[in-house]
Each structure stands twice: as C-alpha cells, then as structure tokens.
Amino acid sequence: MISPKLQKIWYGGDYNPDQWSEEIWDEDMRLMQLAHVDAVSVPVFSWTHLQPREDQYCFDWLDRVLDKLAAAGVYTCLATSTAAQPAWMSRRFADVLRTDITGVQRKHGGRTNFCPNSPNYRHYSRELASRLAQRYANHPTLVAWHIANEYGSHCYCERCAKAFRDWLKVRYGSLDALNAAWNMAFWSHTLTAWEEIDTPTLNGERNNMPYLLDYERFQTESVLACYRNEYDAIKQYTPEVLITTNLMGHFKPLNYYAWAPYLDVISWDSYPTPNQAPSEVAFTHELMRGLRDGQPFMLLEQTPSQVNWMPRNQLRRPGVMRLLSYQAVAHGADTVMFFQFRRARGGPEKMHGSIVDHAGHEHTRVFREVQALGAELQQLGDALVDGRQQASVALLFDWENWWAIDLSVGPSVDLDYIASCKAYYAAFWQANIPVDVVRPDADLSSYQMVVAPMLYMLRPGVAANLSEFVARGGTLVVGSFSGIVDEHDLATQDGYPGELRPVLGIWVEEHDPLLEGQQVPVRSEPWGRLTGNYQASVMCDLLHLEGAQGRAWYDGEFYAGMPAITENAWGKGRALYVAAEMDARLLSDLLLTLCDQHDIAPCLAAPAGVEVTQRSKEGVQVTMLLNHGKQEAVVPLDAEYRDLLSGEPVQGNLKLAPCDVRILQRL
C-alpha cells in the first residue's frame, strides 16, 4: 500500500496552482471534490516560485495551497519541482545548462535542461528537496514524494567528459583493459591517455559501439545520481513516506532497471497513441510493473481526452478514458491520475487535455467522464489495492540490449527490438495468459516458460540463468538475432548464439536480412497448434542443428529446408529458437502449443478483443474483464461472481458493451 492514509485507488492528477491567481484555487477545490479527486501532484514545476532568488525561499503560497487541499480532503504527492531550474540559476552558474548532442550548450528554457553532473544543480536541487521535506514532513496531506519530472535529457559537456573518464577508470581500472573491452585496435583507435576520451557529440566518435554503450550507462547513472541526491535528502525527514519519480515506459535514454532499486514505488505516465493495440499498452504496464518484481505501481499521468504533441491529437472516444484507466489497474496500477487538473492557458501544453478545460467549469463531456470514474473508484474502495498478478510466463526485456541493437551498423535497419517484444507478448495477451516482463538476470524459478526476443547482447550470467531455468524443467523460447555480443558489443567467437549454443542445440552460421517488404515462406508439420504455412520477415537466421530438432523450416530462398524453429531437450526442460521475425499467427500457434503442454491456461476464456486479468491478495482474487472491441462481447462465466461496481451477483453469459469493463469477485 502506497500510504495508509489513502487506502483506495488514488484519483487525481498534476495540479499547478501557481499558474493561476489565488481566486481560482477555491474553485479548484470545489471541482476536485465534485470529480472525486483525492490525490494531486503538487508543485510539479514551481522552482522559481519556491526560490525566486539564490538566497530567498517562498513557501507561504504552497502552505496555503496544501491547507486548502487538506480542507478539501485531497492528499498530495508532494513534488520537488526540480525538473526545470529557474532562469536566474541558468544565468548565474555556467555549469547548470546542459550541452546537447551537437556539442552546443543549450540556452535556458524547456525542462530537464540541466547537466546531471552540474555541482550547482545538484546543490540547489538537494537544498530545495530538503527544505520541502523539512517543512511538510508532517503535513496531513502528504502521502508520497514525487522527485523532479520525466527525467531523461543527456549532457555532453566538458564536465561530463571528465566525470565519464573518472567513471571509466573505476569500471576498467586501466587503459589496457578499456582498449581491450572496446576493441580499440579497430581503425587503430587505441587510446594512450585517458584524456583522449571525450563525449560522443555529433562531431565526435559515433561509430564506436562499446564507447557509446558506456556513455549511455554513464548518463543513466549521472541522471540517477540527481534523483538519489534528492531522495537521500528527503528520507532524512520522512523515512516512512514512499518516494518516486514518473517514468515513461520503454523510454530509451534511461535504463530503468538501474533506477528501480531507488524508487520506493514505480510510477509512470501512459500516453498510448489513438488506435494503439491494447496489447501494446498492456505490454508497457507489464514492463513497468516488472521493474519492482510485480509490486503495484502508480499511473501518475494519462490524459482524460487528448494530448497535444502527436501529429493529430484525436479525442479519446467516450468510454475510452475509463477503459484505459481500468486497463492500468488490471495490470497493477493502484492510482489513476491525470496530467493535469486544470488546462494551462499558454505554453506548449496549452492544447493538452485536462480534467478542467479552458472553459473552467464542470459542464463538459470530459469532466463528466472523469467524475463518473471517480465515483466508481470510491465504490471499489481497496478491493484491488495491493493485489498482485500471478504469471507462469516471463518475457525478458533489457535496455542495454535495446541500445546495442539500435547502435549496431547492420545487419538490417528493420530490426526492431520493441516491436519484436510486443509481437511475442501479443500472442499471450490475445489468449489472456498472464505474462511478467522481467530482466534477463531475474530469478526465473517461479515461471514455467520464458521468452527472450532478440537477445542480441548476453550480459554476464544471463546465459547461465537461462540454461539453469531450462535444466530445472522450464521451456525457453529464444528469438532470432540472439547471442551475438557480450556487454561491450564484442561478438562471440564461439559461433552464434554464443553462450546459448549448448542449451539451444543449434549453430547460427549467417544472417540474411530481407529486402524491403520481402518475406520468406516457412512451413511446419503438425505439432500441437502449429501446422502449415507461415511467413518470416525482417531477417532470417541460417542455422544448423546441433542436437535440436526442427519444428518448422524455411520454404524459400537458397536456404529452403533449413530449420526456422528448433526445439532442444536440455536437462529437465527444453529450449526453442525462432530464427526470424515471424507472422503473428505462427507466434500464436507456437506459444499456445507450448502453453498447452505446460497446462498454462487463460484467466478466463473470452472472445477476441476482451482482455481478462486477475489480481489477488490475501487469497481473494478479483477478475477484470475489459472489452476493447467495437462490438458487444459475450463472456461465458465459469462460476458465480459479484460485480464490485454494481454490487450485484453475476453468472452465465456476461455481456460487455464496447469499452465496457467488469470487475468481478468470485463468490
């Protein structure tokens, strides 16, 4: 439970009172109560208001805001406001503004526009966090801390260069070790002094993958250090209050696996595109939930209606906001919060939807939908809070692997790690089989099946982890283009897939990238659900069996007859290799065959488009049904349930209108 003060699914959003005159604040309180808002993030961007000068802090206005919130029964996720430093700070201290990838220092403006290794930024952000914590430690509204906002920008300044060299000295110990790890003999790039290492700006070295990978790791840690700097300051005053910062799903610049240990609770901002497949949204919830071993997370931002930064910011259709809110809950969210409460009059996000629109009143479609959902969440109480999902299937995801695939020059620009992960995930999602998304070195002992799409980089211990999982009886499915490099992007010398070669019982000799739009037929003899003809795309691995048996074969090109799917018995388990990106039908037929063989069954049989998930706590299981389809769906229930929203018992054929959601507890 995030806070004992608020034992329900939190409901609210970002609140920016300092953009408004104080007269409006009372109206805000009225509207919050009307909308059943009980939690707000405040003050997300107010550093200049809180500290208008180097030597002056002003908290009185915030005192008044928090007191009003307290009076209105609204709790606060207290934000530290450090994502955008004051203009006076950018101007006063040369080290504060970051240098972008072009090598040019930014001017003041925007947000996350600071160098993460800036001493002055570190000093003043810690100071502000510390003062806020000291002042509001015992404020009745305080239920959580929210540090900065959507961290992410990298810096390439001279100061970062120096810090990077220090980081490398610790990591490698000697230049010789670094030269070896980075394969610097290539193009005679061998370093003879640490000072020869600079930042990888666009006018610098952009073709040295190990170097670029280490720079990403270094920046991830540098930005994290800014977060931890505030975290440590706050913990001194409020050791019991959970601290977070809002993440952004599969956001590439930061390896969130490095961050997760320092977030007391994961929170994230979910902004799917219009018409995005619901399985993709679900995948990202799994990824975020997986950061802290399945612990429930906070949906800290979503839009009630539309965003402003897409090319065409379509309105969420009636019912869609509710559907997507419950989808987050269905996958582990214990809060439903919006960006933002009241729509800004000016600035880049002026066109971003909000609970309260520019018109300023409650008589809008959006407000009414928000209000109705708020009432439902009150009705639900703590029925779902702290509930956990249980999965027999794990899908591996790794930021560093993603970076490395995208940095690789060749073999194909069509290799898309995220798309591949989502394709494997979708096969399970469509069958309503729960999946956890976990890191490759996670403890896999609770799973029966593990899927590793495009695991190009095998970091130390990963192959052993997977091999042991198989040896103990698990089923491992490895995607194409796996086992190519180590953590420094150095290719294996043991034949692809390198350390996975024994467990998979195959040797991949060559990779054949397909031309644009090209597909290669694949055929399978009947095996479980797998049979007949399929299509491979993107790139075909050409492999030889070394103990494994073929389950499907290429049926075209000069490698017709070569295996396209293999299965290898290993210890008490088995390991399969899928040698190309495959069409959705093949993935579904293959993965559900494996599920059948493990007796891994859906939460509940449901027609296509109806998502079913389960969360349970203290032995009580709550089942959620969400109709993502455009038509009414009928779900035959397997028992008698109580509908937690209506309070009524339900059984037999349950009808769900499009966008409708049911939350059922088995009687």
Binders of its own copies among 618-647, rule CB under 8 A? Answer: none
* DSSP result, 101-168: TTSPBPPS-SSS-B-TT-HHHHHHHHHHHHHHHHHHTT-TTEEEEE-SSS------SHHHHHHHHHHH
- Options 26, 494, 638, 640; binder of its own copies; rule CB under 8 A: 494
Query: Of 81-89, 368-376, 420-428, 591-599, which part binds its own copies (CB under 8 A)?
Result: 81-89
Cβ proximity to its own copies: between 266 and 548 the closer is 548
Nearest Cα to 601, choosing from 473, 446, 424, 448? 448
Cβ proximity to its own copies: between 310 and 569 the closer is 310
Phi, psi angles (nearest 5°) of residue 533: -110, 140
- The two structure tokens encoding residue 299: 């949906």
- Options 3, 371, 379, 408; binder of its own copies; rule CB under 8 A: 408
- The two structure tokens encoding residue 218: 């270094």
Cα torsion through 195, 200, 205, 209, rounded to 10:
110
Work out whether strand 246-247 and strand 267-269 pair parallel, antiparallel, or are unpaired: parallel
Reduced to 3 states (helix: H, G, I; strand: E, B; else coil), residue 424 is helix
Instruction: Tell me if 480 sits within 8 A of 510, measured CB to CB.
Output: no
- Options 134, 279, 295, 306; binder of its own copies; rule CB under 8 A: 306
Q: How far is the CB of 110 from its own copies (least distance, A)?
A: 6
Beta pairing partners, 625 = 612, 662
- Options 169, 317, 368, 655; binder of its own copies; rule CB under 8 A: 317
Cβ proximity to its own copies: between 485 and 622 the closer is 485
Q: How far is the CB of 17 from its own copies (least distance, A)?
A: 10
561 binds its own copies (CB under 8 A): no
Cβ proximity to its own copies: between 117 and 199 the closer is 199
420 binds its own copies (CB under 8 A): no
Which residue is it, tokens 């995948």? Answer: 283
* Helices 320-330 & 278-290 angle (0-180, nearest 10): 40
Site residues for its own copies, 51-80, by CB under 8 A, read: 52-53
Binding mask 212-251 for its own copies (x = CB under 8 A): ----------------------------------------
- Catalytic residue from among 216, 230, 280, 301: 301
- Options 127, 221, 386, 414; binder of its own copies; rule CB under 8 A: 414
Cβ proximity to its own copies: between 365 and 655 the closer is 365
350 binds its own copies (CB under 8 A): yes
Query: Of 195-203, 390-398, 458-466, 628-636, which part binds its own copies (CB under 8 A)?
Result: 195-203
Work out whether strand 649-650 and strand 610-617 pair parallel, antiparallel, or are unpaired: unpaired
- Options 94, 104, 464, 667; binder of its own copies; rule CB under 8 A: 104
Cβ proximity to its own copies: between 14 and 334 the closer is 14
- Catalytic residue from among 150, 286, 499, 611: 150
Instruction: Tell me if 435 sits within 8 A of 558, measured CB to CB.
Output: no
Active-site annotation holds for 362: no
Site residues for its own copies, 509-528, by CB under 8 A, read: 509-516
Active-site annotation holds for 150: yes
Instruction: Tell me if 447 sits within 8 A of 392, measured CB to CB.
Output: yes
* DSSP result, 185-248: TGGG---SSGGG-----TTS--S-HHHHHHHHHHHHHHHHHHHHHHHHHHHTT-TTS-EE-EE-
- Options 206, 228, 529, 598; binder of its own copies; rule CB under 8 A: 206
351 binds its own copies (CB under 8 A): yes
Phi, psi angles (nearest 5°) of residue 213: -60, -45
Distance CA 106, CA 153 (A): 11
Q: How far is the CB of 8 from its own copies (least distance, A)?
A: 30
Q: How far is the CB of 315 from its own copies (least distance, A)?
A: 5
Instruction: Tell me if 300 sits within 8 A of 146, measured CB to CB.
Output: yes
535 binds its own copies (CB under 8 A): no
Question: Rg of the chain's alpha carbons, rounded to an integer?
Answer: 26
Query: Of 124-132, 181-189, 369-377, 604-612, which part binds its own copies (CB under 8 A)?
Result: 181-189
Query: Of 26-34, 235-243, 355-363, 444-452, which part binds its own copies (CB under 8 A)?
Result: 355-363
191 binds its own copies (CB under 8 A): yes
Instruction: Tell me if 124 sits within 8 A of 89, measured CB to CB.
Output: yes
88 binds its own copies (CB under 8 A): yes
Binding mask 109-148 for its own copies (x = CB under 8 A): xxx-------------------------------------
Cβ proximity to its own copies: between 68 and 488 the closer is 488
The 3-state secondary structure of 582-611 reads ECHHHHHHHHHHHHHHHCCCCCCCCCCCEE
- Options 3, 19, 537, 616; binder of its own copies; rule CB under 8 A: 19
Query: Of 60-68, 194-202, 386-394, 418-426, which part binds its own copies (CB under 8 A)?
Result: 194-202
Reduced to 3 states (helix: H, G, I; strand: E, B; else coil), residue 299 is strand
Nearest Cα to 84, choosing from 123, 113, 42, 50? 113
- Options 357, 376, 436, 589; binder of its own copies; rule CB under 8 A: 357
30 binds its own copies (CB under 8 A): no
Cβ proximity to its own copies: between 103 and 609 the closer is 103
Cβ proximity to its own copies: between 22 and 640 the closer is 22
DSSP 300: E
Which residues are part of the catalytic machinery?
150, 301
